[in-house]
Amino acid sequence: MPDIGFHSQLIEAMKRRATPAGTIERFVRHLRALPAGSDLPCPFCFALGRDGTLLEQTKTTTILSMRCASCGEQVVFRDT
């Protein structure tokens, strides 16, 4: 699973899609409860009550691109 610093980028992506605050809070609690080494859940599937896993597509020293195995949405993480 990507480092906790990536979680804030997932939250920002959810906010850009006008995800309700309560859903974002549940997603954060879900992320914190995941055991070490768990797959990263798709925030967009989570918001719809579905299960989705983000899979690594491309990785450079500053960018990690992931795509959801369920919904196909792409998330690009930037090392800030």
For position 27, what pLDDT does the model report? 95
Paired strand residues for 76? 65
For position 2, what pLDDT does the model report? 47
For position 1, what pLDDT does the model report? 44
Q: How buried is residue 69: exposed, middle or buried, by Cβ count under 10 Å (0-12/13-18/19+)?
A: middle
Tell me the domain boundaries of the chain: 5-78
For position 4, what pLDDT does the model report? 52
- Kindly list the distances between the CA atom of residue 24 and the CA atoms of 15, 31, 72, in Å, as whole numbers in the listed order: 8, 10, 20
For position 80, what pLDDT does the model report? 61
Per-residue model confidence as pLDDT tens for the chain (80 residues)? 445 567 888 999 999 999 999 999 999 999 999 998 889 899 999 999 999 999 999 888 888 899 999 999 998 888 76
